[in-house]
Amino acid sequence: MKEKNLSIEFMRIIAIFLTLMIHVSNIFIRSYGHISNTSFFVGALYNSIARICVPIFFMISGALLINGEYSRGKYLKRIKKFIIILAFWSIIYFVINVIRGGSNNIVKAIFYTLFNTEYTSKHLWFMYAIIGLYIALPFIQKMCKNLTREEENLFMILWVSICGLSIIYTPVIKAITGHTLEVLYPIPLINAAYYLGYFVCGHIIYERIKNIKLEKKYNFWCIMTYILSVLIMATLTYFLSVSNNKLTTTMLWYRGILIILESFSMFILILINEKKFKSKHIETLGGLSFGVYLIHAIFLFLIKDNINITDYNPLWAIPVITIVIYATSVISSYILKKIPIIKSLI
């Protein structure tokens, strides 16, 4: 059996924990106007810290899959597996949604569940995106394996500048002209799907780093880039929301330049410190991460339906609730993996 890269497994753990933190902190930032500005800023700060989670997941997938060899059997098996998992958990969350007082129009719900998360749970959106990338994987592999280093650089520059900087030049153009810039025909591969950019960049960065020895000074620059990106993101989210007198999450969009910078810096930081991740616990927790992703919303719903989270100080409430949901999800995932019928669905 191929030995697992523990730095990748550590990233999975960090990414899933921060996914939970986003969902908890979202409760605070979406309560803008009903909580104090201080509580809102703290919520925005935690949210900014955690925003690397989705990009990291896409980058991990790109790093592990793009350089692999195409196999028709493995290709179809992977897609089939994830569609079955999505269908199973969509049914679970549809039932939960009905119990919580959501729609009981089964025919409509089943139809919509095939295409979106309106009647299940919004966190399942990631499954649709990753299945789409898996379907396109053979073509992405062909493209990436034939790119020269110069072409890889060009892809990253174009993606970061056109996709990442759009959250800056779009509002600037609106402020100057009074009109919203709507790109009806985005550039394929570059601006049409931000997660494809993370997928490809994860592959490029991973392949380059594993073949060179980076000096420890890069640790400092990665940490500083991450911290500055977080602080700028949280501060701008706060001031934009206050000035607009409504929640404004432009800086929290996953395709934004600040999230790209913080995600790249954390991805690189963990990869260049691979030797520090030599623990069986990392491998165990990393293997449970997908199950935690699938099941955690159940515990989040239980807390939201029974506790008014915004009554508490977000400085401690967000991390404590995140830890509670993570711990219960890990335990549940571990138990479910022991059940033969369920273990392939988690």
pLDDT value of residue 106: 61
Q: Exposed, middle or buried by CB within 10 Å (0-12, 13-18, 19+), for 33? A: exposed
Q: Round the average pLDDT of the chain to a whole number and report it.
A: 89
CA geometry: angle 329, 301, 17, nearest 5 deg: 40
pTM for the model stands at: 0.92
Least confident residue range of 82-86, 164-168, 280-284, 324-328: 164-168
pLDDT value of residue 275: 81
Give the mean model confidence (pLDDT) for residues 306-335. Answer: 96
pLDDT value of residue 113: 60
Give the mean model confidence (pLDDT) for residues 58-73. Answer: 93
pLDDT value of residue 182: 66
pLDDT value of residue 42: 97
35, β-bridge pairs: 32
Confirm if 325 and 20 have CB atoms less than 8 A apart. Answer: yes
pLDDT digits (tens, 9 = 90+) for 14-37: 999 999 999 999 999 999 999 999
Query: For residues 145 and 153, what is the distance between their CA atoms, to the nearest angstrom?
Result: 14
What residues contact 262, with CB distance under 8 A and at least 6 apart? 51, 52, 225, 226, 229, 230, 233
pLDDT value of residue 119: 76
Query: For residues 231 and 258, what is the distance between their CA atoms, to the nearest angstrom?
Result: 10
pLDDT digits (tens, 9 = 90+) for 66-108: 998 888 999 999 999 999 999 899 889 988 888 877 666 666 6
Q: Is the pLDDT of residue 213 over 80?
A: no
Residue with tokens 């506790």: 307
Least confident residue range of 64-73, 114-123, 306-315, 320-329: 114-123
Q: Is the pLDDT of residue 333 over 60?
A: yes
Using pLDDT thresholds of 50, 70 and 90, give the confidence band for residue 215. Answer: low
Give the mean model confidence (pLDDT) for residues 329-345. Answer: 92
Q: How many residues appear in the chain?
A: 346
pLDDT value of residue 183: 65
Query: 42 versus 118: which is more confidently predicted?
Result: 42
Give the mean model confidence (pLDDT) for residues 315-330. Answer: 97
CA geometry: angle 212, 218, 223, nearest 5 deg: 135
CA within 13 Å, CB half, 89? 29
Q: Is the pLDDT of residue 1 over 60?
A: no
Task: Based on DSSP, count helices (H) and strands (E) in the chain, helices before strands.
Answer: 13, 0
Using pLDDT thresholds of 50, 70 and 90, give the confidence band for residue 159. Answer: very high
Cα 9 off chain centre by: 15
Using pLDDT thresholds of 50, 70 and 90, give the confidence band for residue 277. Answer: confident
Give the mean model confidence (pLDDT) for residues 225-244. Answer: 95
Query: 5 versus 61: which is more confidently predicted?
Result: 61
Query: For residues 126 and 273, what is the distance between their CA atoms, to the nearest angstrom?
Result: 28
